[in-house]
Amino acid sequence: MIISKQDRLTQYHNSGEWGTQRLHDLFEATAARFPERDALVDPLDKQDLVGSEPQRLTYNQLKDKVDQLTKVLLNNGLGKDDIILVQMPNVVELIFTYLAASRLGIILSPVPVQYQESELSTILNVLQPKAIVLNPEFKQTSLLERMQRSIQLAELQTQPPKILSWGEGGTVSNLSLQMTQSLQASLYNDYRQKHNISADDLITICWTSGTEGTPKGVPRSHNQWLAIGKATYLGNQIQDNETLLNPFPLINMASIGGMFLSWLYSGGKLVLHHPLNLPVFLQQIVTEKVNYTLAPPALLNTILKDEKLKNAVDFSTIRAIGSGSAPLDVWMVEGYKELFDIEIVNHFGSNEGMSLLCGPNETDRPEKRARLFPRASSLLETRLIDVETNQQVSAHDKSGELQIKGAGVFDGYYKSPEKTESCFTDDGFFKTGDLFQISSEDPDFYTFIGRCKDLIIRGGMNIAPAELDNLLNAHDDILDVAVAPYPCEILGERIAVFATLKPEKHLTLADVVNYLKQQNIASFKLPEKLILVNEIPRNPLGKVMRHKLSIAS
């Protein structure tokens, strides 16, 4: 299924940014060159997650698995342009599924394992998938039963999708069992001769986080993924045969664009992990000799603030760590370089195709690395637009919505022409909804301000919560923090701080206000409530879900 318009296809093919290579082509080329090289490693705690033993596969062994699954999917009547809904944690079978789908022209739509009937039934209504692939259980919760309930709730226009299960699934098809059976060897060869799978065909429909409402489907082609993947692969300075540890769910930009594609480009070893289990994560870093990984800012901050943990971790093999989804702290970027000689690479991305990155290629200064992103990019054309006047911003003291255009940007939301029209400008720029400024320190860089819709408006003054999050994250007694508005009849909104504290620490509102005053911020940004909580609600990417932070009236 090709949804890119002809003028876009012509532009990016003529520029060389799009080509003929598919995701599985990258994999198969590496497998042919390095058949005995380690390719893929399961989570150490896979038994606890899905009830099966961890696997370790060379490229040759992985290719055999993909060959087997390709024939199994064909034998189940699945092929080009069929949509499959996938609900699985990061296990090797998920990688099998991506690569086999790529070969067959199947469109995968991966969703978080946390999604329940409400989200799943909504997505089923939009997708109308031909099949569902899942692990029957996840951490002793039945994903299978949840999916079956979701199908009953959904308004499906055709017969219910076929459920394919990795492991024991009762009456549903068992993929693990089918892959042990002998299938006709010529199945795939015959299929390949009849079907042309283009690099412009869709390979995924991912979903936005849903923190602003109903999840939106984001379709992406092989070429769109490969363009994004190449940028992150080069920006993170991934080397041939490096070991990558992926703790983010393989359902969105951070994991697919930042790790899966970097693995395909580098031909190294991909170690899977998810959901985040810190002892297991740290153990994998040591036992697998990890060179590059991703970690949310809150985790990186916690490690540096915990003296016992900081002194116990072994990061000797790590060259760099990518982080993002929330502003980074300068002291954290400095700390990892000074203590561990690790480069922290700042990422700012979205499923729609946002891909900003600031690492050693861009600057060696921690204060710039944590706060700024380069304006110039081979992948993206960018501009700032004033949200009130709709005029392009060129002054350093004025914020504007970042708008983007490029080979890695998606074409529009799946089956949602109204949302697509509202988020693209007449000249083809995608409106990201993110506020930036041109840096007064260096005009070649942008400074992230916050989400347009995240703004707190207090007495007519606009306040970006991310700015206060960032300042408070450096407080010695705070483990995690987020700022959110609460209603006020006089000012419209006031500011509340939600914080989790280090063990045996105490904090008052006065302490917080005095700390912020020392940072020399405007008085209208000072909070008026402090709420101590056990945990800050975040989505699978680590972004704060501010709509879940509320104050009882």
Residue 58 exposure: Cα atoms within 13 Å on the Cβ side: 8
Is there a single domain that holds both residue 444 and residue 470? no
Q: Which two tokens stand for residue 67?
A: 């060959």
Q: Is residue 333 part of a domain?
A: yes
Beta bridge partners of 497: 483, 530
Q: Which two tokens stand for residue 245?
A: 């540890």
- CB-based contacts of 112-119 (< 8 A; 24+ apart in sequence): 112/87, 112/249, 112/251, 112/540, 113/87, 113/88, 113/89, 113/138, 113/143, 113/249, 113/275, 114/540, 115/87, 116/146, 116/150, 117/146, 117/149, 117/150, 117/153, 119/210, 119/215
Q: Which of 406, 422, 451 is the last residue of a domain?
A: 451
Is there a single domain that holds both residue 115 and residue 32? yes
CA 179 to mean position of chain CA atoms: 30
Q: How would you label 429-446 residue by residue, b for 16+ Cβ within 10 Å and e otherwise?
A: bbbbbbbbbbbeeeeebb
CA–CA distance, 519 with 235 (Å, rounded to integer): 32
Q: Which of 200, 222, 244 is the last residue of a domain?
A: 222
Q: Is residue 247 part of a domain?
A: no
Q: Is residue 49 part of a domain?
A: no
Is there a single domain that holds both residue 436 and residue 473? no
Is there a single domain that holds both residue 461 and residue 406? no
Q: How would you label 22-61 residue by residue, b for 16+ Cβ within 10 Å and e otherwise?
A: bbbbbbbebbeebeeebbbbbbbbbeebbebeebebbbeb
* Cα distances (Å, whole numbers) of residue 323 to 34, 223, 255, 320, 435: 30, 25, 12, 10, 19
**What are the DSSP E strand ranges found in 44-157?**
56-58, 83-87, 107-110, 131-134, 137-138, 141-142
CB neighbours of residue 11 within 10 Å: 14
CB neighbours of residue 237 within 10 Å: 15
Is there a single domain that holds both residue 492 and residue 438? no
Q: Is residue 230 part of a domain?
A: no
Check if the beta carbon of residue 143 is closer than 8 Å to that of residue 87.
Answer: yes
DSSP-based three-state secondary structure for 113: coil
Q: Is residue 229 part of a domain?
A: no
CA–CA distance, 221 with 1 (Å, rounded to integer): 9
Place of tokens 């999916």: 147
Q: Which two tokens stand for residue 65?
A: 């698995």
Q: Is 253 exposed, middle or buried (0-12, 13-18, 19+ CB in 10 A)?
A: buried
H helices of 321-409, in order, are 330-340, 366-371
Is there a single domain that holds both residue 18 and residue 145? yes
Nearest to 410 by CA among 213, 227, 261: 227
DSSP-based three-state secondary structure for 39: strand
Is there a single domain that holds both residue 331 and residue 400? yes
Q: How far apart are the first and last CA of the chain?
A: 51
CA–CA distance, 76 with 53 (Å, rounded to integer): 26
Is there a single domain that holds both residue 438 and residue 497? no
CA–CA distance, 263 with 270 (Å, rounded to integer): 6
CB neighbours of residue 126 within 10 Å: 20
DSSP-based three-state secondary structure for 202: strand
Q: Specify the pLDDT at position 421.
A: 92
The secondary structure element, H or E, covering residue 148 is: helix 143-153
Beta bridge partners of 221: 202
* Cα distances (Å, whole numbers) of residue 102 to 91, 107, 229, 262, 530: 18, 8, 16, 16, 50
Overall pTM surpassing 0.75 (yes/no)? yes
Q: Which domain holds residue 335?
A: 295-451
CATH at 370: 3.40.50.12780
Q: How many structural domains comprise the chain?
A: 3
Q: Is 427 exposed, middle or buried (0-12, 13-18, 19+ CB in 10 A)?
A: exposed
Q: Specify the pLDDT at position 513.
A: 96
CA–CA distance, 462 with 453 (Å, rounded to integer): 11
Question: One digit per residue, pLDDT tens: the chain, 553 residues?
Answer: 999 999 999 999 999 999 999 999 999 999 999 999 999 999 999 999 999 999 999 999 999 999 999 999 999 999 999 999 999 999 999 999 999 999 999 999 999 888 888 889 989 999 999 999 999 999 989 999 999 999 999 988 888 999 999 988 777 899 998 998 888 888 898 999 999 999 999 999 999 854 345 678 999 999 999 999 998 999 899 999 999 999 999 998 989 999 999 999 999 999 999 888 999 999 999 999 999 999 988 889 889 988 899 999 999 999 999 998 767 888 999 999 999 999 999 999 889 998 899 999 899 898 899 889 999 888 899 999 988 788 999 888 788 999 999 999 999 999 999 989 999 999 999 999 888 999 988 999 999 887 777 778 787 677 878 889 988 998 999 999 999 999 887 777 899 999 999 999 999 999 999 999 988 777 888 999 999 999 999 877 777 888 788 775 4
Q: Is residue 106 part of a domain?
A: yes
CA–CA distance, 118 with 102 (Å, rounded to integer): 29
| DSSP state, residue 81 | T
Q: Specify the pLDDT at position 553.
A: 41
Q: Is residue 463 part of a domain?
A: yes
- The CA-CA-CA angle for residues 424, 546, 302, to 5°, reads 115
| DSSP state, residue 424 | B
Q: Specify the pLDDT at position 424.
A: 95
Is there a single domain that holds both residue 470 and residue 356? no
Q: Is residue 246 part of a domain?
A: no
Q: Specify the pLDDT at position 392.
A: 93
Q: Specify the pLDDT at position 314.
A: 95
CA 369 to mean position of chain CA atoms: 20
Is there a single domain that holds both residue 64 and residue 212? yes
How do beta strands 445-451 and 372-374 pair? antiparallel
Is there a single domain that holds both residue 111 and residue 180? yes
Is there a single domain that holds both residue 461 and residue 436? no
Q: Which of 428, 451, 474 is the last residue of a domain?
A: 451
Check if the beta carbon of residue 326 is closer than 8 Å to that of residue 299.
Answer: no
Amino acid at 280: V
* Cα distances (Å, whole numbers) of residue 494 to 263, 450, 520, 544: 45, 17, 19, 18
